[in-house]
């Protein structure tokens, strides 16, 4: 049966069928030799419901103090996607059969009256993907959850904003864990848990590297094609390449065979060891190791080792010697196993779908709710206070703010627990980003341009330096509906520290933004897109201060970064904290940065909290022993 449409973009042309068992099958028409360029319709069940909120005005909040260049005034095309139960257009205004109850004054979504008198099972501070996954998983298990979000829409760094007909992803648009197979498709699973599925577009090339010495490598979706391209450049290292990436597959396959739940919960952890001893021992063996050390066992060519540094840097902002082997394996293999898949309509749809799913489960989200204090009574976290004085209480408090924000700001009157002291000894805040969101005339890109690029022109030593390397996403290569017709989105970012932007007058700050952005654009123009600057129709520049302000992240940090060479993931804390009743979720928890990583942290957190609430099995004696053991292991990092 023909399930859905044929679609034609410069890179994609395919048709999807449903076979007799109801499984999806793909039949490509042209180009026939490019199986990986399939546009896949997973099916769409879950709409965007932000009833009562007009996101066109909301979006002016993000980068609101950025300098905007409006060189033309395009009207958005009216793009409609049919979704079961509701109809959504590209402005994300929604017409729905069943609009949610929304208290506009309070910015509440959900059925209840989020109010001081209500006793919730759990309060989640922040609606980043980590917070939303923890909240939805708990709600599905039967808990009554309240999410408190400082901003006006959900998603944090996986949010979106709209300008002049463009829909921009606030942050990354490289989505791991969003396929329809295996156990590691955690984004797909998180959505499915609350009855949602999103339409996704497979990215045929995870990233196109443009590196010193004209080293150009495209990471193809097909593993064999990627290996062929890499070995053609380093034929003398063919064996080493196969062995290094082979080790990654060993780890990925072990991970992919497990049911993923809380490693802090003994019944589950020992159960997995019992059912999958080899896989668990493999993971335990690699847990304290880093990718760079393993690469050096098999590879000698310094340029190839630098390439592996770049492979790790784009996901960890540190080189391979500092990147945990488990994390490296996860991303270096999932891109070929499930592939990188981009959600139609933009990354912001993931958070919106999760938020809707949460409300469908009878829980609530309160926007414009800035938590300034976690209330502690008799040593236990029992509630939170907002900046406007309102207080909310729950059996459990989960913080999706970074650990620096949680313990440094929300608990500043409490003594820093020993565990957190240790964490801060091992990890520092990674720098933030300077980001440029641009609209450009489409003809500045050649038709075969890839969606994601990483650029480091002259010398490898600049890899980790501020402004040294450039990340570039062009999501309209995959989903043209994100921009007005005949235009593309360019989202460019490069590492930058907040110290570089402080102490400036507003005028100097704006001038510096334009100056730094112009230098970055000149580099892109020289290396990749001649005529880039004259094709700009819209441009907005954000700095680490913008990230701090709108994502509520201390110093605008991208997340934790090891102070020295870490012992793999060993030092990374899980979800429990030194304070009774308080849990953390998000990128300052195991396994670290990344949308899929924080989704895993959300799954783990919900499992541990549910066990503590009596919604899942629990073994109190073993709990105590395991938590002590894990705490002790972390001190070895
Ligand atoms: N920077 C990027 O380019 C980028 C882009 C996309 C995704 N990511 C990934 O997303 C991950 C982060 O996800 P996450 O789930 O840890 O969190 P997040 O930072 O994305 O979201 C945290 C949310 O909590 C809210 N919040 C923080 N403090 C609050 C307070 N006191 N009161 C109320 N709300 C508060 C913020 O407004 C934000 O919405 C990162 O690891 C990163 O890899 C990063
Ligand atoms: C407990 C003990 C002691 C032991 C035991 C053993 C075992 C069993 C173990 C287990 C383990 C596990 C399960 C683990 C898990 C893990 C995981 C899941 C991980 C994950 C990870 C992920 C990651 C890291 C991701 C990341 C990503 C990212 C960051 C991304 C980003 C992106 C970007 C930035 C973009 C780029 C762009 C361009 C280039 C443009």
Domain with CATH 3.50.50.60 in the chain: 120-158+179-198+344-426+564-636
In whole angstroms, give the CA distance from residue 575 to residue 602.
9
Is any ligand 1 atom within 6 A of the Cβ of residue 591?
A: no
Asked if 583 and 396 touch (Cβ cutoff 8 Å), the reply is: yes
Which residues on adjacent β-strands are paired with residue 433?
Answer: 495
Is any ligand 1 atom within 6 A of the Cβ of residue 130?
A: yes
**Residue 506, token pair as written in the block:** 């507003």
Is any ligand 1 atom within 6 A of the Cβ of residue 501?
A: no
Running DSSP on this structure, what letter comes out for residue 459? -
Class of domain 120-158+179-198+344-426+564-636: alpha beta
Ligand 1 pocket test, pick from 150, 156, 368 with the greatest ligand atom count within 8 Å of Cβ, gives 156
Nearest CA to ligand 2 atom 1: 263
Q: How far is the CA of 600 from the centre of ligand 2 (A)?
A: 8
Ligand 1 pocket test, pick from 176, 388, 400 with the greatest ligand atom count within 8 Å of Cβ, gives 400
The pLDDT of residue 114 is 56
- Ligand 2 atom, smallest distance to 273 CA: 8
In the chain, which residues have pLDDT < 70? Answer: 1-118
Which of 625, 618, 627, 573 lies closest to 268 in space, CA to CA? 618
Asked if 145 and 367 touch (Cβ cutoff 8 Å), the reply is: no
Give the ligand with the smallest distance to the CA of 593: 1
In whole angstroms, give the CA distance from residue 475 to residue 482.
8
Is any ligand 2 atom within 6 A of the Cβ of residue 174?
A: yes
Is any ligand 1 atom within 6 A of the Cβ of residue 365?
A: no
The pLDDT of residue 172 is 78
Is any ligand 2 atom within 6 A of the Cβ of residue 562?
A: no
Is any ligand 2 atom within 6 A of the Cβ of residue 600?
A: yes
The pLDDT of residue 113 is 55
Q: Is 107 helix (H, G, I), strand (E, B) or coil?
A: coil
Confirm whether the ipTM is greater than 0.90.
Answer: yes
- Ligand 1 atom, smallest distance to 370 CA: 32
In Å, what is the CA distance from 289 to each residue of 323, 388, 458, 573, 593? 9, 46, 30, 16, 17
Asked if 163 and 489 touch (Cβ cutoff 8 Å), the reply is: no
Give the ligand with the smallest distance to the CA of 542: 1
Q: What confidence tens digit (pLDDT) does each residue in 477-497 have?
A: 999 999 999 999 999 999 999
């Amino acid at each position: 049966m023909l399930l859905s449409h044929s679609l034609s973009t410069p890179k994609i042309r395919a048709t999807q069928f449903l076979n007799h068992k109801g499984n999806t099958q793909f039949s490509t028409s042209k180009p026939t030799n490019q199986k990986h360029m399939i546009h896949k319709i997973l099916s769409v069940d879950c709409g965007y419901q932000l009833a009562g909120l007009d996101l066109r005005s909301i979006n002016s909040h993000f980068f609101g103090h950025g300098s905007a260049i409006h060189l033309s005034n395009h009207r958005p095309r009216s793009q409609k996607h049919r979704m079961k139960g509701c109809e959504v257009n590209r402005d994300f205004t929604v017409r729905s059969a069943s609009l949610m109850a929304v208290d506009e004054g309070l910015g509440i979504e959900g059925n209840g009256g989020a109010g001081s008198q209500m006793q919730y099972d759990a309060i989640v501070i922040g609606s980043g993907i980590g917070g939303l996954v923890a909240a939805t998983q708990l709600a599905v298990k039967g808990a009554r959850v309240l999410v408190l979000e400082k901003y006006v829409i959900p998603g944090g760094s996986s949010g979106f904003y709209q300008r002049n007909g463009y829909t921009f992803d606030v942050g990354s648009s490289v989505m791991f864990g969003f396929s329809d197979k295996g156990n590691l498709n955690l984004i797909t699973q998180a959505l499915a848990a609350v009855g949602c599925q999103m339409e996704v577009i497979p990215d045929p090339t995870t990233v196109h590297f443009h590196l010193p010495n004209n080293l150009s490598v495209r990471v193809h979706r097909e593993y064999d094609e990627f290996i062929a391209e890499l070995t053609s450049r380093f034929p003398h290292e063919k064996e080493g390449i196969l062995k290094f990436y082979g080790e990654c597959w060993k780890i990925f396959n072990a991970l992919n065979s497990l049911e993923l739940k809380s490693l802090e919960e003994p019944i589950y952890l020992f159960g997995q060891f019992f059912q999958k001893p080899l896989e668990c021992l493999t993971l335990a063996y690699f847990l304290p190791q880093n990718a760079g050390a393993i690469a050096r066992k098999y590879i000698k060519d310094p340029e190839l080792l630098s390439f592996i540094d770049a492979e790790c840097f784009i996901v960890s902002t540190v080189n391979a010697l500092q990147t945990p082997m488990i994390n490296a394996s996860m991303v270096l293999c999932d891109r070929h196993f499930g592939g990188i898949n981009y959600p139609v309509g933009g990354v912001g749809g993931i958070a919106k779908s999760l938020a809707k799913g949460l409300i469908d489960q009878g829980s609530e989200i309160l926007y414009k709710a800035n938590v300034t204090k976690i209330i502690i009574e008799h040593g236990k976290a029992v509630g939170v206070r907002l900046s406007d004085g309102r207080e909310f209480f729950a059996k459990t408090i989960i913080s999706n703010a970074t650990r620096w924000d949680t313990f440094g700001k929300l608990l500043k009157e409490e003594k820093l627990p020993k565990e957190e002291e240790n964490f801060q000894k091992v990890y520092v805040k990674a720098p933030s980003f300077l980001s440029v969101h641009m609209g450009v005339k489409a003809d500045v890109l050649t038709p075969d341009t890839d969606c994601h690029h990483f650029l480091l022109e002259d010398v490898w030593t600049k890899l980790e330096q501020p402004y040294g390397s450039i990340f570039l996403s062009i999501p309209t290569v995959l989903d043209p509906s994100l921009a007005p017709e005949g235009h593309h989105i360019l989202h460019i970012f490069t590492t930058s520290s907040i110290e570089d932007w402080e102490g400036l007058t507003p005028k100097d700050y704006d001038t510096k933004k334009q100056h730094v952005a112009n230098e970055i654009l000149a580099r892109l123009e020289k290396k990749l897109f001649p005529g880039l600057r004259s094709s700009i129709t819209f441009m907005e520049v954000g700095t680490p201060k913008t990230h701090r302000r709108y994502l509520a992240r201390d110093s605008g940090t991208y997340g934790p970064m090891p102070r020295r060479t870490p012992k793999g993931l060993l030092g990374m804390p899980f979800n429990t904290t030194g304070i009774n009743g308080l849990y953390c979720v998000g990128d300052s928890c195991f396994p670290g940065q990344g949308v899929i990583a924080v989704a895993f942290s959300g799954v783990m957190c919900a499992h541990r909290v549910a066990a503590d609430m009596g919604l899942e099995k629990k073994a109190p004696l073993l709990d105590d022993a395991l938590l002590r053991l894990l705490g002790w292991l972390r001190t070895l990092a």
